[in-house]
Amino acid sequence: MNPDIQRERENATFNTDLLTYVLDGGEEKTRRRREIESLVISDADFQQEDANFLSRSERYDAAVRKSAQMILKLREYGISDPEEIYCYKNCVHRGRPEPLDLHLGMFLPTLLNQATPEQQERFFMPAWNLEIIGTYAQTEMGHGTFIRGLETTATYDPATQEFVMNSPTISSIKWWPGGLGKTSNHAIVLAQLYTKGVLHGLHAFIVPIRSMSTHEPLPGIEVGDIGPKFGFDEVDNGYLKMDNVRIPRMNMLMKYAKVDRDGTYQKPPSAKLTYGTMVFIRSMIVGESSRALSKACTIAIRYSSVRHQSELRPGEPEPQILDYQTQQYKLFPLLATAYAFKFVGQYMTETYHRITGDINQGDFSELPELHALSAGLKAFTTWVANSGIEVCRMACGGHGYSRCSSLPDIYVTFTPTCTYEGENTVMMLQTARYLVKSYRQASEGQHLSGIVSYLNEAHQRLQAQPVSSRPTVVNISDLASLVEAYKLRAAKLVEVAAKSLQGELQKSRSPEDAWNNSSIDLVRASDAHCHYVVVKLFAAKLGEISDTGVHSALSTLALLYALHGVAQNSGDFLQAGLLTVPQLSSVSQRLKDILAQVRTNAVALVDAFDYRDEMLNSVLGRYDGNIYEHMFAWARKSPLNRTEVHESYHKYLKPLQSKL
Amino acid sequence: MNPDIQRERENATFNTDLLTYVLDGGEEKTRRRREIESLVISDADFQQEDANFLSRSERYDAAVRKSAQMILKLREYGISDPEEIYCYKNCVHRGRPEPLDLHLGMFLPTLLNQATPEQQERFFMPAWNLEIIGTYAQTEMGHGTFIRGLETTATYDPATQEFVMNSPTISSIKWWPGGLGKTSNHAIVLAQLYTKGVLHGLHAFIVPIRSMSTHEPLPGIEVGDIGPKFGFDEVDNGYLKMDNVRIPRMNMLMKYAKVDRDGTYQKPPSAKLTYGTMVFIRSMIVGESSRALSKACTIAIRYSSVRHQSELRPGEPEPQILDYQTQQYKLFPLLATAYAFKFVGQYMTETYHRITGDINQGDFSELPELHALSAGLKAFTTWVANSGIEVCRMACGGHGYSRCSSLPDIYVTFTPTCTYEGENTVMMLQTARYLVKSYRQASEGQHLSGIVSYLNEAHQRLQAQPVSSRPTVVNISDLASLVEAYKLRAAKLVEVAAKSLQGELQKSRSPEDAWNNSSIDLVRASDAHCHYVVVKLFAAKLGEISDTGVHSALSTLALLYALHGVAQNSGDFLQAGLLTVPQLSSVSQRLKDILAQVRTNAVALVDAFDYRDEMLNSVLGRYDGNIYEHMFAWARKSPLNRTEVHESYHKYLKPLQSKL
């Protein structure tokens, strides 16, 4: 153990395990997670060469091998709880995506949710036993966010009782689905349904794409890998072009909408059924934001505790770089953010489960709000985590740029969350639509409930007093007071957006143009709303913590999170008259004091995330802090070092010398 | 040609070529640059498979091949002007670094600058003819920024008249130098010089590391590649461990410091000789910031002009995504930034050349200011460009994540600039040191000249009037007035930092602790200072533009740059009393108007950067806008598509089915 990092742990003022239990949701959950992790990590079948040293094809190959093993082992061990499967899988693939993700996460669930009992009979067991390997093909080369724009067609032919599937244009080629390129032999394809010459909009069809015996593409199918990406090397994101591919009528998923033998179309009963799934996926993504950022913080903070550089005081040894205020200012707010997002993710999952219970009893009332909020929170947390990972990487100096740090890998694996499952700006605008609607309702005298209820009082409050005469409400050392300030900031920015929209409408623009011309303000309003929710949930979480050591450490982080946000958005708080100029100076000073407080517990706070070295896979983030010897050992395994002299020397450099 | 992008070009209000001349520094320079680009791009010897489809070893191999060709061709064509060599090289390697970069950019120049005539006689021609291939080995595994901390030793042995080179610890292993791993057979090694038992600090030594006949590592040398990185796949960044490696006395570079035969040490005459080189390198990096960001903007803006998505108005076709205000708000300020940084780079290079002239005549007076400023500008521009590239990538949605967009490649190639040649935070603090010193001088009544001269007047101005009674100085539609506001903001933040420092000192801390405890404020001050300089230089550039169309387009961009910065840092401007709350609302409105104005010329403004498709290497950024067919063509070439059925199917998936 590196003595620097050991000393950090000795100086911590709380019991790390107790905080880990809070993060896992209880001691028993921590125990079980650790058990599963040990099971996977000690399993010889899941060992592999460092992925950084493999080509993309080798990485794909290794991932398929591990996924196949995983399927067998999950059955062998009887692991069937979804959370435990997720944990096992995450551990097998070390947090990376894998080729069967869409088979397990989209193909099977969609069958369960949208297939008729007869269809389930026919498709589910073969899919469960991986004779059918499926994916979910929605996005097209020319169409992502706006799914109504999808061009793929499914035209019903009553003569043969088949659907004829077509990709009528280049831009209609299915593009991006994971596992589509090489792995899957079936795809659930979203296509525009035509029957009796009438367009009925998007529906889902099960399309066989490769032979179940030879795995060769079937006639009329052109399928392949879309090529290398920033990350996701393990996944064969694919393309699919269909040319008059005929599938039986029973391959349309018909639990809701139906096409009869003669081509008569029956509408589905309700269109809002997908709300729940979207909320669930977004709550998972918020959890991912916390996970990715907490990994990056673990690496950067451990590294900063063992890395020595420059001099603070002449003649003394080089200090740990964690002692530099600028380093603390980069890393500690992100550490606080990782905690904040963890609690947001917990809240969303709990709320989702609570509401899902209600749905089964038919009470949808809270769903629109959660749906609207989940869009913004997905965008807010992924954007912040995304840039935060890069701050962590760059805070590790040159070594952060080496793949041995794992930080590049964490970044490229995480960054697609800003785009998939709803592009972030579009997500922000979805939340804004809900906020503006709520604001209008409040100003019309309706009483709002739920998390937007602040728009009731805030509306009155902001209206009643001009900025100059409004008393300053914020006590910058009091978290509850800061939550209040975030609330009023959100209320103010929702108001600004609503008024901008109103102003545009008065210029007699169309509602759509008015919306577009106010969208900068709308995104800002969403952002402020989400920020408020995050601060509020962090503060609320503190009430659940009984251990005084943990409570104290987390309270400091919560205050840091809140004050740092004030400093970063000081213009908003000044503009809304929530802070005075002298108070802003006090915020700066207070932040510095808090950084020094967090310094004491920084390593313990990242230890509490409880990432095993095997999961971090980072030389810089090693638990024992012995970075240099392991960096050297890692480098020696670089593929370029397999020979002492690279062949290019004999091919190009040696011959060049004779020509000069 | 895609009709959307064609229409964009037809609607432009200025002549693109005229703006390109401004960027290149004159029509003749544009002509010559294009000539060189054509020379390289039409040269069959420089064709290669898309680097995205190659393994790292193949990419290194291809780069060595092209570098060797390049050396021959440069001599064949007689290209010897440094700027033209840079252009040729940049074109051969498509903007990527290459294995001979340090040989050409550091080893040869260091020989010229620091070797005695006899040493040059011995080393220069062999190095010129690539018998000697060299690199420059400074950083060590445990030491980057703080070069005094380097541990490598060179101990003089008068008995044999040799230096004994050693890497005494793991952390002293040389780490990161480009071309060190596999390419070089010599290295200029920075080491602590010991002679007669006395330490004389860092000196440079020429160390042979590989045999000049077999290229095998020499005895006592352990050398290799440091392993895969985020990017820089073409470069063999290397490690070097020396165990009692003996080199002749004449291998110490002795133009300045000397070690006599008996081991007597002679000090160099002046220690400040490296200032000029550092300034030059930093001005190059500022130019890189502009180049990388302008490439990213070109790709994102062209893509946004041909990509259609969602609906603005019901029933109408999907609009170009460039019509969305949120998309404009992401991309146009970055476009303005790319222009701003281009002009900053031009200014720095010009000033450097002017001062270098002075240096040769012995007038160093302006150098400290330029040196201090260049540090901050390097940090300011690289940070902004770094995050800006990612904004551009994500503005392209999912396709930005594909390597066919080239955006991942631009990012990973550019991002090390935030770390190398001086870690950015350290750079910011260097500039801050100069600012605080200047502030003290001004407050003591000294009259400052040069770019910090604003601290004279600002000091008085800010002192004289309390915030509340100060008249608002800013006309938000007037660039000169905004420059003034940026100046006063900088003055204010320099003052805040200086006072923080003073306050810490009064708590009787050591000067070093006081500095560290004020470093957040100091970085902010530097940032504001650099921001002021950038706005000021952009405004100054407009005065040089005679064509009215170009002038008008650039003036709009300059105003956008300035106002966007105000909006992003509104807290500073409010806090300093430079803007009122109502004015801030006007800024938001004005920004929206300007976005609509820039919209007309957006494609023409990126066309003016004049990147050939071969240089961008981006399917999304194609000049003709025909993205989808080329994306499909590119994907089909993906290595995973070499066979219809990947071997992993037969190895793992097929056998799995029989086990389930």
Average pLDDT over every residue of B74-81: 94
Inter-chain CB proximity A182 and B513 less than 8 Å: no
Weakest-pLDDT range from A156-160, B46-50, B122-126 = B46-50
Q: Which residues of A touch B585 (CB under 8 A)?
A: 496
**A570-590 tens-digit pLDDT:** 999 999 999 999 999 999 999
CB B134 within 8 A of CB B103: yes
Inter-chain CB proximity A57 and B639 less than 8 Å: yes
Residue B269 CB burial class (10 angstroms; 0-12, 13-18, ≥19): exposed
**A313-369 tens-digit pLDDT:** 888 889 999 999 999 999 999 999 999 999 999 999 998 888 877 656 766 677 788
pLDDT at A147 over 80: yes
CB B190 within 8 A of CB B204: yes
Q: How far apart are CA A323 and CA B146, in angstroms?
A: 15
- Where residue A469 falls among pLDDT bands split at 50, 70, 90? very low
Q: How many other C-beta atoms can be found within 10 angstroms of the C-beta atom of residue B9?
A: 16
Look up the ipTM and state it: 0.97
- Where residue B468 falls among pLDDT bands split at 50, 70, 90? very low
Residue matched to tokens 């005695």: B116
CB B116 within 8 A of CB A644: no
Best of B213, B326, B585, B594 to disrupt the A interface by mutation (most A CBs within 10 Å)? B326
Q: How far apart are CA B190 and CA A545, in angstroms?
A: 54
Buried/exposed code over B522-544 (b: 16+ C-beta within 10 A; e: otherwise): bbbbbbbbbbbbbbbbbbebbee
Q: How many other C-beta atoms can be found within 10 angstroms of the C-beta atom of residue A241?
A: 20
Using a CB–CB cutoff of 8 Å, tell me whether A391 touches chain B: no
The 3-state DSSP class for residue A653 equals helix
pLDDT at A274 over 70: no
Among A408, A420, A592, the residue with its CB nearest the CB of B517 is A592
Q: Which residues of A touch B572 (CB under 8 A)?
A: 570-571
Weakest-pLDDT range from A244-253, B274-283, B412-421 = B274-283
Inter-chain CB proximity A229 and B429 less than 8 Å: no
Locate the DSSP E strands across A430-525: none
Q: What local confidence, expressed as pLDDT, does residue B457 receive?
A: 76
**A38-68 tens-digit pLDDT:** 999 999 999 888 999 999 999 999 999 999 9
Using a CB–CB cutoff of 8 Å, tell me whether B659 touches chain A: yes
Q: How many other C-beta atoms can be found within 10 angstroms of the C-beta atom of residue A657?
A: 15
Q: How far apart are CA A397 and CA A52, in angstroms?
A: 20
What's the N-to-C CA distance of chain A in angstroms? 53
Q: What local confidence, expressed as pLDDT, does residue B591 receive?
A: 98
Q: Which residues of B touch A519 (CB under 8 A)?
A: 324-326
Structure tokens at A440: 């209008």
**A540-570 tens-digit pLDDT:** 999 999 999 999 999 999 999 999 999 999 9
Best of A631, A637, A643 to disrupt the B interface by mutation (most B CBs within 10 Å)? A631
Buried/exposed code over B221-255 (b: 16+ C-beta within 10 A; e: otherwise): bebbbbbbbbbbbbbbbbbbbbeebebebbbbbbb
> Which residues are CB-neighbours of B146 under 8 A, at least 6 positions away?
A309, A310, A311, A318
Among B229, B571, B655, the residue with its CB nearest the CB of A571 is B571
Q: How far apart are CA A581 and CA B462, in angstroms?
A: 15
User: How many contacts, defined by CB atoms under 8 Å, are there between A and B?
Assistant: 388
- Where residue B278 falls among pLDDT bands split at 50, 70, 90? confident
The DSSP 8-state label assigned to residue B640 in this structure reads G
Q: What is the DSSP string of B80-132?
A: --HHHHHHHHHHHTTT---TTHHIIIIIHHHHHHHS-HHHHHHHHHHHHTTSS
The DSSP 8-state label assigned to residue A540 in this structure reads H
Average pLDDT over every residue of B103-122: 95
Using a CB–CB cutoff of 8 Å, tell me whether B651 touches chain A: yes
Among residues A458, A274, A300, A445, the alpha carbon closest in space to that of A374 is found at A274
Q: What local confidence, expressed as pLDDT, does residue B408 receive?
A: 98
Q: How far apart are CA B146 and CA B140, in angstroms?
A: 10
Q: What's chain A's length in residues?
A: 660
pLDDT at A213 over 60: yes
Using a CB–CB cutoff of 8 Å, tell me whether A527 touches chain B: no
Inter-chain CB proximity A581 and B570 less than 8 Å: no
> Which residues are CB-neighbours of A55 under 8 A, at least 6 positions away?
B55, B639
Q: Which residues of A touch B513 (CB under 8 A)?
A: 312-313
Q: How many other C-beta atoms can be found within 10 angstroms of the C-beta atom of residue B10?
A: 9
Inter-chain CB proximity A646 and B142 less than 8 Å: no
Q: What's chain B's length in residues?
A: 660
Best of B58, B634, B648 to disrupt the A interface by mutation (most A CBs within 10 Å)? B648
Q: Which residues of A touch B300 (CB under 8 A)?
A: none
Q: Which residues of B touch A569 (CB under 8 A)?
A: 571
> Which residues are CB-neighbours of A214 under 8 A, at least 6 positions away?
B645
Q: What is the CA radius of gyration of chain B?
A: 27
pLDDT at A17 over 50: yes
Q: How far apart are CA B270 and CA A182, in angstroms?
A: 65
Sequence letter at residue A621:
G
What's the number of CA atoms in the CB half-sphere (13 Å) around residue A357? 5
**B361-375 tens-digit pLDDT:** 766 677 788 889 999
pLDDT at A466 over 60: no
Q: How far apart are CA A552 and CA A353, in angstroms?
A: 30
Whole-number Cα distances in Å, A374 to A380, A386, A493: 10, 18, 19
- Where residue B469 falls among pLDDT bands split at 50, 70, 90? very low
Q: What is the DSSP string of A418-447?
A: GTTTS-HHHHHHHHHHHHHHHHHHHHTTPP
Q: Is B363 left (phi over 0), alpha (psi -120 to 50) or beta?
A: beta
Q: Is B421 a catalytic residue?
A: yes
Query: To the nearest whole percent, how much of chain B has pLDDT over 90?
Result: 88
- Where residue B145 falls among pLDDT bands split at 50, 70, 90? confident
Q: What local confidence, expressed as pLDDT, does residue B357 receive?
A: 76
pTM score: 0.97
- Where residue B509 falls among pLDDT bands split at 50, 70, 90? confident
- Where residue A146 falls among pLDDT bands split at 50, 70, 90? confident
Among residues A598, A106, A616, the alpha carbon closest in space to that of A330 is found at A598
Using a CB–CB cutoff of 8 Å, tell me whether A388 touches chain B: no
Q: What local confidence, expressed as pLDDT, does residue B249 receive?
A: 98
Using a CB–CB cutoff of 8 Å, tell me whether A76 touches chain B: no
What's the N-to-C CA distance of chain B in angstroms? 53
> Which residues are CB-neighbours of B292 under 8 A, at least 6 positions away?
B385, B389, B410, B413, B414
Among residues A152, A158, A154, the alpha carbon closest in space to that of A196 is found at A158
> Which residues are CB-neighbours of A169 under 8 A, at least 6 positions away?
A142, A151
Q: How far apart are CA B531 and CA A260, in angstroms?
A: 67
Structure tokens at B250: 């004449």
pLDDT at A277 over 90: no
Using a CB–CB cutoff of 8 Å, tell me whether B633 touches chain A: no
Q: How far apart are CA A252 and CA A163, in angstroms?
A: 8
Q: Which residues of B touch A139 (CB under 8 A)?
A: 398
Among B65, B133, B310, the residue with its CB nearest the CB of A145 is B310
Instruction: Give the largest CA-CA distance in chain B.
Output: 91
Mean pLDDT in chain A?
A: 94
